[in-house]
Amino acid sequence: MSVYTSVSDDEMRQLLTHYAIGEFQSLQGIAQGITNSNYFLHTTSGTYVLTVFEALQAHELPFFLKLKQNLSENGVACPAPIAQINGQFDAQLAGKPACIVSKLSGRDTASPTTAQCHSTGAMLAKMHLAGTTFPEKMDNPRHADWWTTSAAKLAPYLDSQDLDLLNKEIEFLAQNPDHHLPSGIIHADLFKDNVLLDGEQVAGFIDFYYACQGSFVYDLAIAVNDWARLANNKLDTQLKQAFMDGYQSVRPLTADELTYLNTAHRAACVRFWVSRLLDFHFPAAGELTFIKDPNVFRDLLQTFQAA
């Protein structure tokens, strides 16, 4: 149950005095989710989603909320943040940063169909195009510098084979950067559990809290590595193709992006192999982390190295 911060009815009533979304009716904790406390908020004007952020700092929140507003206004399926009467999107509850966003229909899936991959790929391309109208920038906190520093921190915990693989791959990526490729705002974590689906169609992307500047093909590779990954840690050709076709139905990849694609998949493997290794070897104190298997991305990386 991912409700770490309990919000009382009185606290919620008080917060709602700053919004024009009707009178408080009830709050219902949402079981899914790992990092934050999420609730369905029922008011006399409808149902919304309330998030109380457990790790994000208050000053970091406005960027992500303005981004979601910009994207939702530009036809990207994602929750629209609800502004307070004074125009501010971010709020505070129980001393923590919080926000209210529109509720989307749909649910995530662990086993996508090709049609769902196609729809998600198309929406990702739409997001990349729409993001070009967003004026603010955010550096990627989990890219080359981060994985280089993290590999040094992880070195004592890895066996020599894994450490050698990781270090050589980081060296390869340093020699093959993506700076020359089309870039802009990327989601950077578009795994299956961050997309709500309504039948075969995307109802909305959620969890924009790793969104940052990056190359579009890297973002595409992050998503395909999860959407098309099979239990044997190889990619399903049909799911991958459907995702790529969906993406390219909206934004065809350039010749340079197609040339770089395999390297982008490798970079995406390193990103999540390393973050999962850090979660495993350095669990944050007091954090209820559901450790995800780091080795799936090590194994997937090796399939791309062999390609």
Ligand X SMILES: N[C@@H](CCO)C(=O)O
Indicate if the alpha-carbon torsion angle 112, 116, 121, 127 is positive or negative: negative
What count of other Cβ atoms lies within 10 Å of the Cβ of residue 39? 22
Figure out which of the listed residues 32, 88, 92, 289 binds ligand ATP, where binding follows CB under 6 A: 32
Report the C-alpha gap between 143 and 114 in whole angstroms: 30
Question: 198, exposed or middle or buried, with CB in 10 Å at 0-12, 13-18, 19+?
Answer: middle
Q: Which residues pair with 195 in a beta bridge?
A: 205
Question: Whole-number minimum distance, CB 114 to ligand X, in Å?
Answer: 22
206 is a contact residue toward ligand ATP (CB under 6 A) = yes
Cβ-based nearer residue to ligand ATP, 6 or 176? 6
Q: Work out which of 104, 127, 202, 212 binds ligand ATP, going by CB under 6 A.
A: 104
Selected from 34, 94, 230, 284, the binder of ligand ATP by CB under 6 A is 34
Binding mask 159-198 for ligand ATP (x = CB under 6 A): ----------------------------------------
Q: Under rule CB under 6 A, which residues in 254-283 are in contact with ligand X?
A: 272, 275-276
For residue 56, count CB atoms less than 10 angstroms from its CB and return exposed for 0-12, middle for 13-18, buried for 19 or more.
middle
In the complex, what is the shortest distance from the CB of residue 270 to ligand X, in angstroms, rounded to a whole number? 12
The smaller minimum CB distance to ligand ATP, of residues 40 and 172, is found at 40
Q: Should residue 33 be labelled a site residue for ligand ATP when binding is judged by CB under 6 A?
A: yes
Which one of ligand X, ligand ATP, none interacts with residue 281, CB within 5 to 8 A by kind? none
Written as six digits, the tokens of 260 are: 């770089």
Looking at 40, 146, 172, 191, which residue binds ligand X (CB under 6 A)? 191
Q: List interacting residues with ligand X (CB under 6 A).
A: 189, 191, 272, 275-276, 292
